[in-house]
Amino acid sequence: MTNVTMMTIDFNKNNDGLVPAIIQDATTQKVLMLGYMNQDAFEKTQKTQKVTFFSRTKQRLWTKGEESGNFLHLVDIKLDCDQDALLVKVNPVGPTCHKGTDTCWEEENNDSYGFLSKLEAIIQNRKDQAEGKVAQEEGAKPSYVSSLFKSGINKVAQKVGEEAVEVVIEAKDNDDKLFKDESADLLFHYLILLQAKGFSLKDIVAVLEARHS
């Protein structure tokens, strides 16, 4: 864990002796909540490895999860450039918000891979259309992805193979644009294959993490 010593945190910047502590999931990078720490809360957090705040409502130290069991297990603490705000990375147990949601902004605390996650959601929608779970817009032509899903797993796997060959071919040439285009096609069809097999990118990342942990 990052060593943030007491002397570096400016607890005296505010009259109440508190500094904001932004709580972030160490794995998903989602911001879970905002709390406040004083010196005692910070010390207890480091000692117990469970995030403890100073509750302005209860006017006492409060360890998140002391009643619900939904603790925030400490992973790392970083201090901002002005030395008066903390970024606390945690492994949460259960929902973080007292309302029962994953975050205090009512967001789901899922792994996100940026645009690739958005692309996975689009592919899932096309898969649902192919399976009749989602209605297609009236007058709209069946999408390429939906048609591919309807063709079956063999056709999907074949497309991945074809795109992989194209990547190998372009890798041996000097046309960077074509290489990137074919690489994008390969990744796109691989994401389709994953969903055709009932998996997602998250499952493959878990395998890689296990190999390198």
Instruction: Collapse the DSSP code of 6 into the 3-class scheme (helix H, G, I; strand E, B; otherwise coil) and give the result.
Output: helix
Question: Tens-digit pLDDT profile for the chain (213 aa)?
Answer: 555 665 589 999 999 999 999 999 999 999 999 999 999 999 999 999 999 999 999 999 999 999 999 999 999 999 999 999 999 999 999 999 999 999 999 999 988 899 999 999 999 999 999 999 988 776 678 799 999 999 999 999 999 999 999 999 999 999 999 999 999 999 999 999 999 999 999 999 999 999 998
Half-sphere exposure of 7 (CA within 13 A, CB side): 0
> What would the 3-class secondary structure string for 58-111 be?
CCEEEECCCCCCCCEEEEEEEECCCCCCEEEEEEECCCCCCCCCCCCCCCCCCC
Q: Which two tokens stand for residue 198?
A: 């009932």
Which amino acid is present at 186? L
DSSP 8-state assignment for residue 50: B
Q: Which residues pair with 37 in a beta bridge?
A: 19
Picking from 74, 67, 114, the residue whose alpha carbon sits closest to that of residue 91 is 74
The Cα–Cα gap between 58 and 80 comes to: 27
Sign, CA torsion 117/121/127/133: positive
The Cα–Cα gap between 182 and 54 comes to: 54
